[in-house]
Amino acid sequence: MNEPQRAFLDDLLATASPSGFETASQRVWTEYVREFADDVSTDAYGNAIAVHEGDSDAPTIALTGHADEIGFIVRDVLDDGFLRIARIGGSDRTVSKGQHVTVHAAEPVQGVIGQTAIHLRDPTEDEYEDIAGQFVDIGAADAEEAREHVEIGDPVTFSTDLEELVGDRIAARGIDNRAGTWAAAEGLRRAADGDVDATVYAVSTVQEEVGLQGARMVGVDLDDVDAFVAVDVTHATDNPDVDGERQGPVELGAGPVVTRGSANHPVLVDLARAAAADGDVDVQLQAAGTRTGTDADAFYTARGGVPSLNVSIPNRYMHTPVEVIDTGDLDAVADLLAAIAAAAAETSPFAVDV
């Protein structure tokens, strides 16, 4: 990963993008892809699409990631100036209390999610309150002062900064899934640099965390796409607090994860594995017996069925403010996407042989 590519990743991770409020992050993404895409466009809800125009008789493949992150939303301003919040997506009530947060009002406002000091609690009665029972303290003395700074419906995110860990590993909030949008953009750039025959879209979708909504829009609007590759994070289960029954084969630093089963089209699975072997990219396998939990679940049923594949980035501590990935895995995902795009013309049409 060179310096401009790393700067792009850092910019994405520094830009808050809770579901339904992705505009700032999408601007970062579209500014980057304009440097090498033949065309860049957005739709009414902010899904962003860039394209490399290939040969007219070659297949069209879309490389996608979702721009949104989990967070909170202001649902009430209390008389004493505290803010009640609700979830945006799958926010974890066990990690929220005692955290610094930013309320993304007209002007950003800093706050904390309150946690009563251990000295004032009965430890025998400790429990994790639901998000709806937690509150943000922005320092306001009363509701009147609070409403001078925030209003109901303002989104809220953790204020965690990106941190460099040992080696190639980083920690940040919102890696799920700005890392995926980074990979989609970089996959497109590398495919364009290789002048692949296929037409290649890179797509940064919105509102995945609240029901794959952006993917549902894109799956219909991009009616010329022959195959979708959805890039998201998946659980790396190599940390010591993962229960043995939940431990799987996915490790940080061992390469991209190709998913088999469910939405994952077997021809695309084979294409990805062959492209990885030819490109000397180590991959891991993961099973999805029912659903992937990613945008692939929306893409593959669009327009009567579009071959789709889920490729993942190993991620520790998902849906916390301290998600951890290995940037070597991320870079390898972009290489794999470009290799899939380059080999697509030799594999299409993407259909099972019945």
Residues involved in catalysis:
208
Query: Helix, strand, coil: what percent of the chain each, to 5?
Result: 30, 25, 40
Q: How does strand 227-235 pair with strand 308-315?
A: parallel
Q: For tokens 């009567």, what's the residue?
A: 304
- Please give the single-letter amino acid code of residue 240: P
The DSSP result for 328-351, as a single string, is HHHHHHHHHHHHHHHHHHHH-S--
Q: Which residues contact 79 (CB under 8 A, 6 or more apart)?
A: 142, 143
Residue 189 contacts residue 52 (beta carbons within 8 Å):
no
**How far is 177 from 233, CA to CA, in rounded Å?**
7
Q: Is 353 annotated as a binding residue?
A: no
What is the token pair recorded at 104? 């993304």
Question: What Cα–Cα distance (Å) separates residue 309 from each residue in 79, 121, 263, 304?
Answer: 50, 49, 7, 16
Q: Is 76 annotated as a binding residue?
A: no
Sheet holding 169-172, edge to edge: 163-164, 169-172, 323-326
Q: Is 195 annotated as a binding residue?
A: no
Q: Is 278 annotated as a binding residue?
A: no
Q: Is 176 annotated as a binding residue?
A: yes
Residue positions forming the annotated binding site: 66, 176, 209, 232, 319
Annotated binding site for Zn(2+): 66, 176, 209, 232, 319
